[in-house]
Amino acid sequence: MKAKARAHANIALIKYWGKSDENLSLPMNSSLSLTLDAFYTETEVEFTNSINEDVFFLNGVEDKNTLSKISKFLDLFRIARNMNERAIIKTINYVPTAAGLASSASGFAALAAATNKASGLDVNSRELSTFARRGSGSATRSIYGGIVEWQKGINDKTSFAVEIDDASWDIGMVVVIVNREEKKMSSREGMKSTILTSPFYKNWPEDSQKDLKEIKIAIKEKDFEKMGYITERNALKMHATMLGANPPIMYFEPKSILVMQIVHELRDKGIPCFFTMDAGPNVKILCRLSQGEMIKNRLMEDFKEYEIIVTGPGPGVEII
Ligand code: PMV
């Protein structure tokens, strides 16, 4: 009744933005991501009859704030297994910085895998991704390594992740932490508000699917520049839907823009690199892994005191 799992974070190249079903966490659009080696979460789950409430430890400290969300998530497995045992959950986030990078993807993927094993439910990876989805949308994609697509589906069973490519053709990311503080607005709230108030949102579900189709062709052809260009364009379009919300949602900070300008400067010099940004100010740069250190060195000229991490593609979730 005890298991431990490790899952890696992922960054979307085609973004998921907006839910069609809040309760089931079904997305308005399919998305695609790169799983990253440098950022991961390890979680141990132990079901036991000796306690009446779940207990959750985050990085060695009991965390009562997140407990209800975790318990609700574990209930999905308890219902599926027809069991009542409570659990002791111990999570360690291996991210080089305290905050700033979403740990919900690796967090819920690791929790799903450990709970799947500890409860004896033992569903396969595809079904496991539907469980991870209920914790956090992006966690759906962290079940697999390399390049992963989350197919939006039409219901709980059909909204799952699939592996697209192992990303072993010199692909990496440079992550620039421009701000470590907690984000001002959660992605959940941001999505809701964008759907309800932004006149620019109505084009998003269909347009992002065109980007998805194009990027999948680029990946198949191993056309890195095309893949990067679509990635950058898609991120900007997602942020455009948010800028149109009322009140406007803006995750850009001056330093985020500076990173983007450096990316363009490098590109003008013939180095293929492309930025993307999520519901926070940190910028992730898709690049050739072999050029990651060189890109980092250029960024260090303007970001001496900042954390800059070069990472390659990461593996899927594993029981450890
Ligand atoms: O996984 P969530 O519900 O926190 O949403 C993630 C949203 C984005 O990071 C902005 C995009 C994505 O596809 O990961």
Q: In angstroms, what CA-CA distances link 12 with 110, 230, 279? A: 18, 12, 11
Reported as a single tens digit per residue, the pLDDT across 35-93 is 999 999 999 999 999 999 999 999 999 999 999 999 999 999 999 999 999 999 999 99
Residue whose entry in the numeric block shows the structure tokens 């005890």? 2
Domain extents for the chain? 2-167, 172-311
For ligand 1, say whether the CB of 276 is within 6 Å of any of its atoms.
no
Q: Is the pLDDT reported for residue 183 higher than 90? A: no
Cα separation, 272 vs 31, whole angstroms: 23
In this structure, the residue with its CA closest to atom 10 of ligand 1 is 278
CATH number of the structural domain 172-311: 3.30.70.890
Q: What is the pLDDT of residue 50?
A: 96
| 273: β partners | 287
In this structure, the residue with its CA closest to atom 8 of ligand 1 is 278
For ligand 1, say whether the CB of 137 is within 6 Å of any of its atoms.
yes
Q: Average pLDDT in the 214-228 region?
A: 98
Query: Does the domain at residues 2-167 carry the CATH identifier 3.10.129.10?
Result: no
Collapsing DSSP states into helix, strand and coil, what is residue 87?
A: strand
For ligand 1, say whether the CB of 187 is within 6 Å of any of its atoms.
yes
Q: In angstroms, what CA-CA distances link 245 with 196, 248, 282? A: 8, 4, 21
For ligand 1, say whether the CB of 129 is within 6 Å of any of its atoms.
no
Reported as a single tens digit per residue, the pLDDT across 92-148 is 999 765 445 667 899 999 999 999 999 999 999 999 999 999 999 999 999 999 999
For ligand 1, say whether the CB of 31 is within 6 Å of any of its atoms.
yes
Cα separation, 93 vs 61, whole angstroms: 12
Residue 305 or residue 14, greater confidence: 14
Q: Do domains 2-167 and 172-311 have the same CATH topology?
A: no
